[in-house]
Structure 1
Amino acid sequence: MKQGFLSILPLAAGAALYGFAFGVLAAQIGFPWWGVALMSGLVHAGSSQIVAVEQFGSHGFVLGAVLAGAALNLRYLGIIASLSEVLRDVPMRLRLLAIHITGDENWALTMARRARDPDIGAAFLIGSGLTMISVWVISTTAGALIGGAIPDLEGYGLGFAFTAAFIAMARAMWRGRQVILPWAITFAATLALVRAGMGPAFAIVLGSLAGVAIATLDRSRRRQDIA
């Protein structure tokens, strides 16, 4: 667990930046600091929280914000499914804890490390998850507490923090040329849907599903070639 707790620190630093930016954004829209802290601890899904708050700030509809966040969080169905082997021998209470604190960053790091070392498992996932949720709650709450004093996030360079964190995660998940096609399909489909007028949250979900479908077909083809 200690290994996971420490190994995730570089990614946690990036998460702290966009967590702070999220807290500022939420406060400027009108969310109380304690509401931001509660949301970060209970929802604990950075990208969907940001999308939900932006939707609420743009349109003022709670239901629309919830649906946008939920749509983006559909990817966690695949993430949790991919952890079946990692959590297979873990007691239920720890399994539920692991599922709650699993985010994009610690999942990506755990799977990347596990690909090189099969001994990496639930302890690493939980340790890295505890680091991430602690940093996320603290940074978002801090941003919300002083949000009114920061008028322009872009002026401080914080607008790129969210993108930078996902670039780091993508690099950790790179498996070589065999993933180029699914990644390209995901990117192209998402971009096309956004340009067609679809909301970013739903475009990401559908684009990801397209990429997963291509990856599944490609994996089946390779198995048939081997057989």
Structure 2
Amino acid sequence: MSSENLKEIRGGIGETLTVGLGLIPLGLAFGLLMVQTGFAWWWTPIFSFVIYAGSMEFLAIGMVTAGIGPFSAAVAGFMVNFRHIFYGLTFPRHRIKSGAGRAYSTYALTDESYAIVSARPPGDISGTRVLTVQILCQALWVIPGIIGALVGQVLPDDLKGMDFALTALFVVLAWEAFKNNKDYSLPLFAVVLALVSGFVAPEQMLVIALTTYFLILLLRVRFPNLDKKLEIRTSHE
């Protein structure tokens, strides 16, 4: 390995640790939740390698235990991770020389790796650094998940609170997103759609609510004048 590649690897590690360390508590919580839900500990790395989509992994636990069909699961997964389509348009995957490396980079594209790589000026990153960032991000998610699952095996079965981890995660993410864009119509739409979908089709509530919400967002982007009428903003931003 050349000195240039070693330099890029060290640089990628340094850039990743600042953001990537935040993955550790989430990974631990995911592993704990897996075993507390009734899965064997070794299902944790399987979920993390096969799905590897952060919040979607938490969501998958509930869908599997609820017996959600493959079509509904696929729709939910598409809605939750739809943003990755846009990530791929600007992610510097072309900087990676090998076909296997580019394939892994496509699979391992996450919010964290995209944020780290995109912080650098366009064209000012090597394929080695891109892969280093993505590999380390996945390691910081998978390894804590396994540790959390192993620890979860020795905890009492009646331990309360871990089943709230998914809800807490989405509450935090939603609050952070709202602070950046204080549009009260968005959470209002979400609450109304969840209530209506739960009343009309409780077994398909998640899929119906996500699909409808996604269509509303598309309409708001397509018709900006309608979007201005629907937005209810605070006077202080």
- Other-structure match for 1:225: none
Residue 144 of structure 2 corresponds to which residue in structure 1? 139
* Deviation (angstroms), 1:154: 5.7
Amino acid at match of 1:23: G
The 1:160–1:6 alpha-carbon spacing in structure 2 relative to 1, beyond 3 Å, is: farther
The amino acid that maps onto 1:79 is: Y
How far did 1:36 drift?
Answer: 1.2
Matches within 5 A, 1:125-164: 125-148=130-153, 149=155, 151-153=159-161, 160=168, 164=172
The C-alpha deviation readout for 1:121-167, integer Å capped at 9, x for no partner, is 45444322111100111111111112240613469999745655677
1:62–1:104: structure 2 CA closer, same or farther, 3 Å change rule?
same
Q: Which amino acid aligns with 1:6?
A: G
After superposing the two structures, state which structure 1 stretch, 60-69 or 94-103, moved more. Answer: 60-69
Q: Could you say which residue in structure 1 is the equivalent of 2:122?
A: 118
* Compared CA separation, residues 190 and 95, structure 1 to 2 (3 A): farther
Counterpart contact for 1:18–1:158, Cα < 8 Å: no
Partner of 2:100: 93
- Higher Cα Rg, which structure: 2
* Alpha-carbon distance in 2 for matches of 1:22, 1:109: 23
Matched, 1:195 2:195: yes
Residue identity in the other structure for 1:28 = Q
**Paired residues, what number?**
203
Q: What is the DSSP-based 3-state SS (H/G/I as helix, E as strand, rest coil) of the residue aligned with 1:44?
A: coil
Contact 1:87-1:122 at 8 Å conserved across structures = no
Change (3 A) 1:90 1:201: farther
Equivalent in the alignment of 2:54: 46
Structure 2: 5+ residue stretches without partners: 1-7, 199-204, 225-237
| d(CA) in 2 for partners of 1:167, 1:7 | 26
RMSD: 3.7
Q: Is the 8 A contact 1:49 1:69 kept in 2?
A: no
TM-score by length of 2: 0.66
Residues 19 and 116 in structure 2, CA contact (< 8 A), matched pair in contact too: no
Could you tell me which amino acid in structure 2 is paired with residue 96 of structure 1? A
User: What is the distance in 2 between the residues matched to 1:139 and 1:192?
Assistant: 36
Give the match's secondary structure for 1:102.
coil
Q: Deviations over 1:56-114 (max 9, x none)?
A: 33x2446377434454233323322342xx22343332211111111112213333x14
Distance change (3 Å), C-alpha of 1:37 and 1:152: same
TM-score (norm 1): 0.68
* Structure showing the higher helix proportion among its residues: 1
Q: 1:106 aligns with which of 113, 119, 129?
A: 113
Match of 2:231 in 1: none
Residues 193 and 209, structure 2, Cα contact 8 Å, conserved in 1: yes
